[in-house]
Structure 1
Amino acid sequence: MDDLLLRKRKVETELRKALDGGTGIRLAYQPVFASNGKTILGAEALIRWGHDVHGTLPAAQFIAIAEERGMIGQLGAWVLQEACRFAVRTDLPWLAVNVSPLQLRDAGFPEQVASILADTGLAPQRLQFEITESVLLDNSDASRAALATLRQLGVGIVLDDFGTGYSSLSYLRRHAIDKLKIDRSFVRLLDGDGNSAAIVKALIDLAMALGVDVTAEGVETEAQKVLLVAMGCRQLQGYFLSPPLEPVQLLGLSGLTSPDEVEPTAARA
């Protein structure tokens, strides 16, 4: 336990240095494709940290430490600033950023988002926030107010990993979600599991009934892609289509803008 605590403190200290202008922390971007597998509809920003000593640290690990040590606000602001600065220099229709439940409980979060959008010049309609079902289950006044304010700004709200938690239709209707993302654990089993196929089809039908978009994440085979498209899914994300990319790689793949117009994120980290 002492070793674990020391490691957490060390990661916390070095993460603070990285956010204050050190090196190693950066964003990668995984595109989301239309059903033809070629047209890029948008992208998801994913944080990466290549540590000089520990190597590449799993995002879930240092994000959990940031939440535990009261740093998630600073880390989230850095991610949002970098993502918006990248997106505004491209023709990406939208860019999705993951948001911690702790950020949504901060009464000042919507104001911070509005300020970053104004500073970077990114239209709110081009920004999406991916949240987990725990945010809906939390059902706090602060989270509800934050989601409502963000939607009033024009920011889209996406429910990530849908199907793995405990969300009910009442939660979905109450919070007015704009998009559902089907968890990769269901998509992974599509190739040979009839039960998983039935569940995925039901989730897609539910999204259609609610009048919201639906994205299938974790698409890794041609067979999965074909099945999802046949079920009516029109947004696909996964390694079969593209892994997370460096900013310049994404621009080269999509032809969204000239690569030399965008300063790589890692160079500013």
Structure 2
Amino acid sequence: MKIFTMCMECQKELGHPSFEPIITDYYEEALAFIECSRGHKSAVLLQSQKFEILLESAANALIEGYTLEAASSLSSAYERFFEFAINVFCKKNKIPKKSIDETFKQVAKQSERQIGAFLFLHLLIFGRHYTLNKKIPELRNKVIHQGYIPTPNEVIDLGELIYQEILAITNLLSSELLNELQQVTMETVQGRNEKIPTDIPRATTTGTIFFSLGTTNRKETFQEALSSYTESREKLYGSMPYLRFFSKAVEIYAKLKKNI
């Protein structure tokens, strides 16, 4: 996965942005370690939950034409979303994170049990049952278990079903369990922060653009989210030459100012 960022240490040193664009990789830990042209080394920590990252991964794969990878990432995002929701439900009942983690280990490799846990916790918290979309497992199982390579339209159809499920439950959590949702997010950030060496400066970013818990302006459909994300991605990459120009201009200005 890749993230766009700028050096915050340059911001501190110059008193304004350096405008130097940095696109760097991050992986499982959602941490990116960067070094700018001025030699500043720092870490960028994403607030995004795993399911948000996987949704954006699916969008990137679909844009690039990798339908199998897009469908697989969508399926993984769906499962990891239920894990996130379980954490929010448990937080509502003031269950310690260590206890949640130890319990989840026992179902970590069994997605059906995770979904079952979600269903009963939803019933416990809200007093009403939740009905899963039965169409989602059909294509998901063909892709994951049979190696089926879907068409772009099939991926979009799957994405729409998964997106609507995630959006509906996210809206419910944001409305009824916002404090608990934020606590789970902060615990994620704290856990990642602890993995950064103490001598390395760090900055935090909301991370994903395609779907973000950090905004209330989420798109209503998968198609809308994909279209908006595609446009944002094109604008970002299109801005690179201009940002590099501004960065060079800032560097020249700083040198001239120093010599005056």
| Structure richer in helix, relative to its length | 2
Give me the TM-score of the superposition, normalised by structure 1: 0.26
Give me the TM-score of the superposition, normalised by structure 2: 0.27
Q: Which has the higher contact order (CA 8 A, sep 6+)?
A: 2
| Structure richer in strand, relative to its length | 1
